[in-house]
């Protein structure tokens, strides 16, 4: 299998940073392009009367801040010979990751896993697990050394 394009989701956790570093190594070895993505979930909050959503201007401001943070992270990974782009998208994390990978014709998704087990996994689920189940390209999950 030729790897020409890799997508690596980044949520700025240690797990996603470790996965992004692995994605850079793979891109360097295969000559692939790397696309880092950050998914923005529409923030909501609970009120006594029900739930509400953040105003669009606040979401736009937050998106701008995440674009800057992702660009800074991308710049920290730059290496000679590896083309790294970045993109912020909105949506449900596992769906957006799969959609971007398909739209970008990615050959591989490289993503971190937080290694939650038990009640934490029950409550929060696993984005990585959902991506593995639903994404069209193969998915390589990376655990940080302290999770092994």
Distance in angstroms (rounded) separating the CA atoms of residues 101 and 23: 14
Quote the pLDDT of residue 93.
Answer: 92
Quote the pLDDT of residue 131.
Answer: 93
* Lowest-pLDDT choice from 10-19, 74-83, 91-100, 139-148: 139-148
On average, the pLDDT of the chain sits at 85
Q: Which residues contact 68 (CB under 8 A, 6 or more apart)?
A: none
Confidence of residue 79 (pLDDT cuts 50, 70, 90): confident
Bigger pLDDT: 12 vs 54? 12
DSSP string, 91-145: S-HHHHHHHHHHHTT-SEEEEE-----HHHHHHH--HHHHHHHH-SS-EEEE--G
Q: Are 71 and 88 in contact (CB under 8 A)?
A: no
CATH code assigned to 5-147: 3.40.50.620
92-125: per-residue pLDDT in tens? 999 999 999 999 999 999 999 875 555 444 444 5
Distance in angstroms (rounded) separating the CA atoms of residues 67 and 64: 5
Quote the percentage of the chain above a pLDDT of 70.
Answer: 80
Predicted confidence (pLDDT) at residue 84 exceeds the cutoff of 90 = yes
Burial class (CB in 10 A: 0-12, 13-18, 19+), 74: middle
Distance in angstroms (rounded) separating the CA atoms of residues 106 and 33: 9
35-68: per-residue pLDDT in tens? 999 999 866 555 556 556 667 777 889 899 999 9
| Angle formed by the axes of helices 14-30 and 56-77, nearest 10° | 50
What integer is the mean pLDDT of 25-34? 95
Query: SS3 of 2, please?
Result: coil
Distance in angstroms (rounded) separating the CA atoms of residues 131 and 60: 26
Quote the pLDDT of residue 121.
Answer: 45
Predicted confidence (pLDDT) at residue 127 exceeds the cutoff of 90 = no
């Amino acid at each position: 299998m030729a790897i020409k394009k890799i997508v690596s989701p980044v949520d700025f956790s240690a797990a996603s940073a470790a996965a992004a570093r692995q994605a850079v190594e793979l891109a360097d070895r295969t000559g692939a392009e790397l696309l880092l993505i950050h998914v923005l979930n529409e923030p909501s909050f609970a009120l006594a009367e029900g739930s509400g959503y953040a105003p669009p201007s606040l979401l736009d401001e937050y998106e701008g801040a995440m674009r800057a943070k992702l660009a800074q992270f991308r710049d920290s990974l730059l290496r000679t010979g590896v083309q790294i782009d970045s993109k912020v998208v909105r949506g449900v994390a596992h769906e957006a990751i799969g959609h971007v990978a398909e739209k970008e014709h990615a050959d591989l998704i490289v993503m971190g896993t937080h290694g939650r087990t038990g009640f934490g996994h029950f409550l929060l689920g696993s984005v990585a697990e959902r991506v593995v189940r639903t994404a069209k390209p193969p998915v390589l999950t990376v655990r940080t050394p302290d999770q092994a």
